[in-house]
Amino acid sequence: MNYFVLGESLPHTMSPEIHKELGSDYGVKEVAKDELKDFVLSKKYCGFNVTVPYKVAIIDLIDDVLGDAKEIGAINTVVNRDGKLYGYNTDIGGMVYALYMAGIDCKNKSVAILGTGGTSNTAFYAAKKLGAKTVFKVGRTSPINYENIYGLEINLIINTTPVGTFPDSDKCLVEIEKIKGLESVFDVVYNPLETELIRRAKKLGLKTGNGLRMLVEQARLAENLFFDREIPQTETERVLQKLYKEKKNIVLIGMPSSGKSSLAKIIAKTLNRELIDLDSEIVKEAGMEIPEIFEKFGEKYFRDLEEKIAVKFSSKFGVVIATGGGTVMREKSFNALTRNGTLFYIKRDLQSLISDGRPVSKLKGVEQIYLERKSTYEKAHYTVQNIGKLESVAKEIIDIYEKNTRY
- Classify burial at 19, counting beta carbons within 10 Å of its beta carbon; exposed 0-12, middle 13-18, buried 19 or more: buried
- Residue 73 backbone phi and psi in degrees, to 5: 80, 30
**Superfamily (CATH H level) for 3-88+225-232:** Leucine Dehydrogenase, chain A, domain 1 (3.40.50.10860)
CATH 3.40.50.300 range(s) for the chain read: 248-404
pLDDT above 90 coverage of the chain, percent: 91
pLDDT tens-place string over residues 209-248: 999 999 999 999 999 999 999 999 999 999 999 999 999 9
Catalytic residue among 43, 55, 129, 242: 55
Go through 362-374 and write b for each residue having 16 or more CB atoms within 10 A of its CB, e for each that does not. Answer: eeeebeebbeebe
Is 55 labeled as catalytic in the residue annotation? yes
> Rounded mean pLDDT of 148-163?
96
| CA neighbor of 179 nearest in space, from 210, 200, 163 | 200
Enclosing H/E stretch for 291: helix 290-297
- Residue 137 backbone phi and psi in degrees, to 5: -95, 145
Task: Tell whether omega for the bond before 256 is within 30 degrees of 0, i.e. cis.
Answer: no
> CA-CA distance, 255 to 347, in Å (whole number)?
8
Give the chain's mean pLDDT. 95
At residue 358, does pLDDT exceed 80?
no
Q: Is the pTM of this model over 0.85?
A: yes
State in words which class domain 248-404 has: alpha beta
Looking at domain 93-214, its CATH architecture is 3-Layer(aba) Sandwich (3.40)
At residue 354, does pLDDT exceed 90?
no
> CA-CA distance, 313 to 182, in Å (whole number)?
33
Other beta carbons within 10 angstroms of residue 143's beta carbon come to: 9
Angle at 341 between CA 338 and CA 346, to 5 degrees: 90
> CA-CA distance, 164 to 396, in Å (whole number)?
33
> CA-CA distance, 222 to 26, in Å (whole number)?
12
**In the β-sheet with 249-253, what is the strand arrangement from edge to edge?**
274-277, 319-322, 249-253, 341-347, 382-385
CATH 3.40.50.720 range(s) for the chain read: 93-214
Pairing of strands 77-81, 84-88: antiparallel
Enclosing H/E stretch for 5: strand 3-7
pLDDT tens-place string over residues 67-114: 999 999 999 999 999 999 999 999 999 999 999 999 999 999 999 999
Q: What is the DSSP string of 98-153?
A: HHHHTT---TT-EEEEE--SHHHHHHHHHHHHTT-SEEEEE-TTSSS-TTTGGGSB
